[in-house]
Amino acid sequence: MLLRLNDIAPDFNANTSQGPINFHEWMGNSWAILFSHPKDFTPVCTTELGYMAKIQPEFTKRNCKLIGLSVDPVENHIAWAKDIEETQGYLPRYPMIGDTELAVSKLYNMLPADEVGTSERRTAAANATVRSVFVIGPDKRIKLMLTYPMTTGRNFDEILRVLDSIQLTQEYKVATPVNWKQGEDVIIAASVNDEDASKLFPEGWKSIKPYLRVVKQPKKVQRPTSG
């Protein structure tokens, strides 16, 4: 099944470095970042897992859980975590899925459904497409998907920025412009006409074009009243 934005994130049961989980139950009412890795003990991913361990509190503030995935066994994840702490200065405290049967990787279209075998004797190159990031909402729907090449370290500050944008634009009738960061001006959603916009944003906005209305980032929910 080809995954698209706003699809329900496939549910699964898996063994992790923190014990067995059911993914949807583990998420509960939280957001989640599922990020995958071609193989344990690889250089780029070592830096990535260490950085995610460093900024995990920022995701926690946003009601977002982190969970990693590699096709290697859980015991390898636990050993790898020690290397990550030693070299990056931060110990991963989020679970890491051991996808030895390639089941989750196939479920999330990171490997072909007809891929044969298990994690045994697979190389990082064979798993090159198992290098994706999924942002999943409390409604269990996929909000973002990104896949990176093996030689390019992922920008997890960007994932945090995107999470801020998604959470903001789901709560308010706004969109975020190019390179937007928390606290900067936003754009009134095109679906909101000027009459409703005046109720939602009583302090007004700047109209660059009729379709491009810039307003300060909202800090308090405001709803237009009927009648």
Residues pairing with 8 in the sheet:
141
- Which among 215, 219, 197 is positioned nearest to 205, based on CA atoms? 215
Cα–Cα dist 90/94, whole Å: 12
Residues near 89 by beta carbon (within 8 Å), at least 6 away in sequence? 50, 54
| Cβ pair 144, 135 in contact under 8 A | yes
Out of 27, 44, 45, 160, the active site residue is 45
Question: How far lies 87's CA from each of 24, 147, 201, in Å?
Answer: 32, 25, 49
Tokens found for residue 112: 């072909």
| Cβ pair 208, 214 in contact under 8 A | yes
- Which among 100, 122, 121, 104 is positioned nearest to 113, based on CA atoms? 104
Using DSSP bridges, classify how beta strands 142-147 and 132-136 pair: parallel, antiparallel or unpaired: antiparallel
Using DSSP bridges, classify how beta strands 174-175 and 142-147 pair: parallel, antiparallel or unpaired: unpaired
Q: Catalytic annotation on 64?
A: no
Active site residues: 45
